[in-house]
Amino acid sequence: MLFLPSVMIKQAKQDAWLSTILNDLFGLLTGYIIIKLGELN
């Protein structure tokens, strides 16, 4: 998961800003899921 941003930026080239936004959203979603799973306990 740590290598995902660099892989996406290599593929995106001129649209690297878009891949950065997508990675941020992915990170926020992952954090949200972790928090919700922690609340179940």
Given a contact cutoff of 8 angstroms between Cβ atoms, the answer to whether 19 and 9 are in contact is yes
Whether 4 maps to a domain, the answer reads: no
pLDDT digits (tens, 9 = 90+) for 10-41: 776 777 777 778 888 989 999 999 999 999 87
In which residue are the tokens 């990170």 written? 27
Range of the domain at 21: 10-39
Number of domains in the chain: 1
Whether 3 maps to a domain, the answer reads: no
- Specify the pLDDT at position 3: 61
Given a contact cutoff of 8 angstroms between Cβ atoms, the answer to whether 30 and 23 are in contact is no
Whether 27 maps to a domain, the answer reads: yes
Q: 0.75 cut: is pTM over it? A: no
Confidence band for 7, pLDDT divided at 50, 70 and 90: confident
- What the block records as the tokens of 22 is 């997508």
Whether 29 maps to a domain, the answer reads: yes
